[in-house]
Amino acid sequence: MNVLLCSINTLKRLYDISAVEVGQHFYWQIGGFLVHAQVLITSWVVIAILLVSAILVIRNLQTIPTFGQNLFEYVLEFIRDVSKTQIGEEYGPWVPFIGTLFLFIFVSNWSGALLPWKIIQLPHGELAAPTNDINTTVALALLTSVAYFYAGLSKKGLAYFSKYIQPTPILLPINILEDFTKPLSLSFRLFGNILADELVVVVLVSLVPLVVPIPVMFLGLFTSGIQALIFATLAAAYIGESIEGHH
């Protein structure tokens, strides 16, 4: 009996150690809202990384750029390229938005994959990439929705809504549905990819702690970068779609 109890206890302990939990959050109460504090903390870190690096780089600008400035200019050129190919000629005002999306998501994803967040242990839940949480991705996707509505309305006025019956009025329900599926697909794609990446890494780490997770971590890095690019590209594409003239 005693042996059985002991073995059950041992199993329970083992289970505790190798447990991988999803949906555990560290809550803060702000006003009437319960917020996921781990997401806020990691977002702040990401924002701090971006701001500090930007400030460090722009402190000493040169005509022929030095390393940091060169890198940042390259990134900016890349973002402008993406915006230009997706939005078209009037891409200028949207570069900051697309750039913010891309940089935030990219640095978030890579911070989740590269920074040893788990060294700091929260009372509940754990630190991970901000995009690991559906709230972050939904917020970004809704921002994209607002942005493309604003772009279309400010470009065409109320004539923007004529695109809902554009090929034929029969497609009206589908066109309306699209406005809901766009943010939904954006947010779930990003959330699912990042969560899956981190879960795979965590599961592998809990099974075989060394060496084996490394290829998967590289895969995660690759996927994270691709996801950031996809999110930014799709946001730009939606904006471009809503400001392009009908034919």
Interface residues toward other proteins, by CB under 8 A: 6, 9-10, 13-14, 16-17, 63-65, 67, 70-71, 73-74, 113-116, 118-124, 201, 205-206, 209-211, 213-214, 217-218, 221
Amino acid at 81: D
Residue nearer to other proteins on the CB measure, 172 or 212 = 212
Neighbouring residues of 136: CB distance < 8 A, sequence distance ≥ 6: 39, 43, 108, 130, 191
Residue nearer to other proteins on the CB measure, 72 or 149 = 72
Min dist CB 71 to other proteins, Å, is 6
Query: Closest Cα to residue 240, out of 77, 75, 95, 74?
Result: 95
Residue nearer to other proteins on the CB measure, 6 or 172 = 6
Query: Closest Cα to residue 109, out of 86, 137, 81?
Result: 137
In this structure, how many other beta carbons lie within 10 angstroms of the beta carbon of residue 48? 10
Q: How far apart are CA 19 and CA 188, in angstroms?
A: 25
Min dist CB 162 to other proteins, Å, is 44
Min dist CB 70 to other proteins, Å, is 5
Query: Closest Cα to residue 132, out of 71, 197, 223?
Result: 197
Q: How far apart are CA 127 and CA 118, in angstroms?
A: 6
Min dist CB 117 to other proteins, Å, is 9
Amino acid at 145: S
Residue nearer to other proteins on the CB measure, 118 or 166 = 118
Min dist CB 159 to other proteins, Å, is 42
Residue nearer to other proteins on the CB measure, 72 or 160 = 72
